Amino acid sequence: MKKEQLKKGLPPRYTGKCRNLTKEEKEKLKKEGRKPVIRFKLPENEKIVWEDLVKGVLEFDSSNIGGDFVIVRSNGIPVYNFVVVIDDHLMNITHVIRGEDHISNTPKQILLYKAFNWDIPKFAHLPIILGKDKSKLSKRHGSTSVEEFRSKGYLPESLINFLALLGWYPNEKLYKEISQKKEHPEIFTKEELIELFDLKDVNPAPAIFDTTKLDFINEFFIRKLDLDTLYKHLKEFVKVREDFDIKEIGDTLVIKIKDKEFKTDKKTFYKAIDLTRNYYKTLEDVFVYLKELLTDKFEIDKKALEFIKTNPESIKVIEKFFEKVKLEQVLNKDTFKKIVKSIQKELKVKGKKLYMPIRIALTGKLQGLELDTLIEFLGKERVINRLKNFFLEGEKND
């Protein structure tokens, strides 16, 4: 039957074959062992109209919604369209807010409300979210669950902020008042969103799910949060990650990164975070940068190695630096500057050729936080440790 309809270019729909069976006919079919379904008898030529809170006035014709639809299956279990109406009514639902893929269900549901003589709730059909290929967002487009974003190190407030902006923008008048005071025009706290949000301002057009802006929002929140709050987020974050952990044992913190553990105290931990937070995109990055500050053992990046090989005078710079560091009582930004200047004079190198070797010797990398800040944080003893390690590593590589 269905195939025939499709062939003729007609939409598959119930033909009304058993719409008006007599008692005798029903009995006969029952005896044959046929189990009946219960269908909703559609009114003829009735317009079903509602004002959708997002899409505006929507109108369907009863002759155009697929024929008498099933409300109870032959096994006696009722179907969704029938059940939601009863359920929502019983729960005193006033607003039905859902994806626009439900638009075509709505006329059926409205008819049921009418048949029951129940109040019809307000409907709001939100546009669906599209993947990069503009089709309905699904698993094959990558992460789609909140859990995945959590475990990637996105803060809950970042996701909320991002999602709110996907298909919604604050009402101009309301927004203008507060926008003056805002640090950033599109960063919203939960409270602001609650204050500003209105279904009326939802854009009826579907939006593509592109997380570029989410990265920005997350960076922003991570930078602005106070350290205690950030710490709380980190504690939550490690719960969903096998490779990271933060244990508090008395005053010491044991930080697990991959299969290594580092001991430190909260004060140092906070200091380290504060120095590196401008580099974070996600909470995951916290650990990446922390590792650099918490241990003096490191490997030298390929590119860093390359730099040293192509700039042989680098070794001289590092040796000189080592010598001079040993002579200093304490290492801070000032003494660092002094040392660098004297190396510059004595070896006649400057710029990248002067700073890079030192950076590589201390971190094994070509980029990172500012050298003077790093050195002040490490202190003399650890700087010496690192330099020694560098020369040991160097021997291995030779």
> Residue from 46, 88, 192, 215 that binds RNA (CB under 7 A)?
215
Residue whose CB is less far from RNA, 246 or 378 = 378
Nearest to 280 by CA among 335, 217, 326: 217
The answer to whether residue 148 forms part of the interface with RNA (CB under 7 A) is no
What letter represents residue 380's amino acid?
K
The answer to whether residue 142 forms part of the interface with RNA (CB under 7 A) is no
Q: What residues form DSSP beta bridges with 59?
A: 49
The answer to whether residue 87 forms part of the interface with RNA (CB under 7 A) is no
The answer to whether residue 324 forms part of the interface with RNA (CB under 7 A) is no
The answer to whether residue 33 forms part of the interface with RNA (CB under 7 A) is no
Residue whose CB is less far from RNA, 106 or 264 = 106
Cα dihedral value 172, 174, 179, 181, nearest 10: 160
The answer to whether residue 66 forms part of the interface with RNA (CB under 7 A) is yes
* E strands present in the chain: 38-40, 47-52, 56-61, 69-72, 95-99, 122-126, 129-130, 207-208, 244-249, 252-257, 260-265
The answer to whether residue 224 forms part of the interface with RNA (CB under 7 A) is no
Structure tokens at 352: 């990248």
Tell me the C-alpha distance between 28 and 31, whole Å. 5
Residue whose CB is less far from RNA, 74 or 252 = 74
Task: Tell the smallest beta-carbon distance from residue 263 to RNA (Å).
Answer: 27
Task: Tell the smallest beta-carbon distance from residue 192 to RNA (Å).
Answer: 15
Which 272-311 residues touch RNA, going by CB under 7 A? 278-279
Task: Tell the smallest beta-carbon distance from residue 70 to RNA (Å).
Answer: 4
Tell me the C-alpha distance between 105 and 380, whole Å. 71
Residue whose CB is less far from RNA, 210 or 323 = 210
SS3 sequence of 154-201: CCHHHHHHHHHHCCECCCHHHHHHHHCCCCCCCCCCHHHHHHHCCHHH
> Residue from 22, 45, 75, 180 that binds RNA (CB under 7 A)?
75
The answer to whether residue 385 forms part of the interface with RNA (CB under 7 A) is no
Burial 293-325 (b: 16+ CB within 10 A, else e): bbbbebebeeebbebbeebeebeebbebbbebb
Number of neighbouring beta carbons within 10 Å of residue 4: 9
Residues 39 and 72: beta-carbon distance below 8 Å: no
Number of neighbouring beta carbons within 10 Å of residue 144: 15
Task: Tell the smallest beta-carbon distance from residue 59 to RNA (Å).
Answer: 7
- Find the part of the chain contacting RNA (CB under 7 A) among 184-192, 232-240, 294-302, 303-311: 184-192
Residue whose CB is less far from RNA, 28 or 239 = 28
Nearest to 383 by CA among 322, 334, 304: 322
Tell me the C-alpha distance between 31 and 155, whole Å. 63
The answer to whether residue 226 forms part of the interface with RNA (CB under 7 A) is no
Which 344-383 residues touch RNA, going by CB under 7 A? 344, 350-352, 354-356, 359, 366-371
Task: Tell the smallest beta-carbon distance from residue 355 to RNA (Å).
Answer: 5
Size, binding site for RNA by CB under 7 A: 78
- Find the part of the chain contacting RNA (CB under 7 A) among 43-51, 74-82, 252-260, 390-398: 74-82
> Residue from 207, 225, 275, 315 that binds RNA (CB under 7 A)?
207
> Residue from 340, 358, 383, 387 that binds RNA (CB under 7 A)?
340
The answer to whether residue 127 forms part of the interface with RNA (CB under 7 A) is yes
> Residue from 172, 226, 242, 259 that binds RNA (CB under 7 A)?
172
